[in-house]
Amino acid sequence: MQEHEHRCGCGGAGCSGEQHVEATGGCTGSGCVGHAGHGEHAGRGGHGDHDASGLGGGTETPVRMAGRVGAKLVVLSGKGGVGKSTVAVNLAVGLARTGRKVGLLDVDVHGPSVPRMLGLGRARPVAGEGWMAPVSAGPNLRVMSLGFFLPDPEVPVIWRGPVKMGMVRQFLVDVRWGDLDVLVVDCPPGTGDEPLSVLQLLGPDAHAVIVTTPQGVAVDDVRRSVGFCRQLGNPILGIVENMGGYVCPKCGELTPLFPAGGGEQLARETGVAFLGSIPLHPDLTSAGDAGRSLLEADLSAGHEPVHPVIRAFQPVVGAAGTVCPTGDSEAPGRSASEIPARDNGGPAPQGASNMKIAIPLAAGRLCQHFGHCEQFAVLTVDPDDGTVKGQELLTPPPHEPGVLPAWIADTGTRLVIAGGMGARARQLLEERGVQVLVGASAADPADLVAAWFGNRLELGANTCDH
């Protein structure tokens, strides 16, 4: 691991925090986050000496991401607790449902709630020297969050600004997002230094989606958010009103909690488009708590969802879709060895090491039963470009509880792509820092690896959970 300044609650120079984030803490790989001075990349984002925003404080210049990013959507709110993360998550899931390749980046350093909302609370990204892989959250959706690296999600993260922004820069530069149609960013709330730096790092082409609640006190918050984006020169896609009214889960009647139309009026007053109103609905709270999005319905044109929350999100996803090009990042049919190295012209991660990916096999293809497979294919892959450098066929030890996960982890595997796997095996693997993807189809191992690298690995249900 590269040397870095230690910034944590143990008295290090740059941090007043109670949690620190590094490879030995929350991160399972040899990469680490949260260090302003991390390797080559620390300076690449640049600390300009000129604050063009006129807002004071911000000195970041836009970073260049490695992959193609069709559009960036940054979800902002004037203050916390208004449903910003809920909107970011459902917007990302909704866009992924339309077939777009979506990255969801959670840089809300105060409360990185995206992993919990997507049921990825135990996930640990695969990471190597100078690179990290985002966590798959179903077809078309890849996620990165500070929350993946926190040893204890209950303990608040308190870092000084440069450390936080070093982390955000790393998430943009070092994460192997692959080509994306859209990157959705869950930004810290408010209009202070943190959202300012995030917007500067993303650059002036990031479209803002401003989330607010409808009551009168939100007016000033929204005005500030709108003015903030305008001063930075970021286009504002529009305002989303959250908790616009209460939908009774029994009869479906919508009862306004505040004078109706507040969000729309705010949009008119500030000269910004109104994207839609999301009702307060207990299903949305419980879905967030249960780690799934309600937007499991097909949001493509022509489908009429029944659930009021899904219906409410439809125009928001539709409006976001107008700035996200569709599907041209697809690279169907490429094998792992055909994926060109960094064909996007971006900077290659420094010092990348090989990565091992294990796939249970039956008759040469992925076996749906992890615990009862004949063999494992362990592929050695270049994390830069997905080139398969070698493949071993290993015969697993006899089936006994807990034996197989330990054996796989001992092979140095960092990612298992499986069809079905029991909860205990998955937990044991994740505890050893092995990322697990379930629901993959019975395909050729090299094709599965190529699909994963190409951000087009289709994952369905866990086909066997015992």
Binding residues for ligand ADP, per CB under 6 A?
A: 77, 80-86, 113, 242-243, 278, 280-281, 284-285, 288
**Chain position carrying tokens 């076996």:** 367
> Minimum distance from CB of 104 to ligand ADP (Å)?
13
DSSP annotation of 148 reads G
Tell me how far apart the terminal alpha carbons of the chain are, to the nearest angstrom: 37
Considering the complex, what minimum distance in angstroms separates the CB of residue 280 from ligand ADP? 4
Least CB distance to ligand ADP at residue 141 (A): 17
Residue 217 CB, shortest distance to ligand ADP, in Å, is 15
Query: Given the DSSP bridges, would you call strands 274-280 and 254-255 parallel, antiparallel or unpaired?
Result: unpaired
Question: Cβ of residue 156: shortest distance to ligand ADP, in angstroms?
Answer: 14
Q: Which is nearer to ligand ADP, 66 or 240 (CB)?
A: 240
Nearer to ligand ADP, 15 or 202 (CB): 202
> Measured from the CB atom, is 172 or 243 closer to ligand ADP?
243
Reported in sequence order, the residue ranges of 261-418 that DSSP labels E, i.e. its strands, are 274-280, 355-362, 365-366, 375-381, 388-394, 413-417
Beta carbon of residue 142, minimum distance to ligand ADP (angstroms, whole number) = 20
Structural tokens at position 285: 């709270």
Angle at 41 between CA 38 and CA 47, to 5 degrees: 100
Q: What is the DSSP string of 13-79?
A: TT---S---STTTT--SS---S-TT-TGGGTTS-B-S--TTSSSS--B-PPPPSS-EEEEEEEEESS
* Crossing angle between the packed helical segments 84-97 and 282-290, to the nearest 10 degrees: 80
Toward ligand ADP, which CB reaches closer, 118 or 359?
118
Q: For residues 307 and 432, which CB has a smaller minimum distance to ligand ADP in the complex?
A: 307
CB of 388 to ligand ADP, least distance (A): 40
Is the Cβ of residue 84 or residue 164 nearer to ligand ADP in the bound state?
84
Amino acid identity, position 266: L
Query: Distance of CA 293 to CAs 89, 142, 221, 237, 238, Å?
Result: 7, 14, 27, 22, 22
State how far the Cα of 171 lies from the Cα of 73, in Å rounded to an integer.
15
Q: Is the Cβ of residue 81 or residue 340 nearer to ligand ADP in the bound state?
A: 81
3-state class (DSSP) for residue 7: coil
Smallest separation, CB 126 to ligand ADP (Å): 27
Strand, coil or helix: what is 105?
strand
Residue closer to ligand ADP, measured from CB, 278 or 299: 278
By C-beta, is 172 or 284 nearer to ligand ADP? 284
- CB of residue 83 vs ligand ADP: minimum separation in angstroms? 3
Between CA 222 and CA 213 the distance in angstroms is 9
Supply the DSSP string of 417-466, one letter for each residue.
E-SB--HHHHHHHHHTT-EEE----S--HHHHHHHHHTT-------S---
193: tokens are: 């230094």
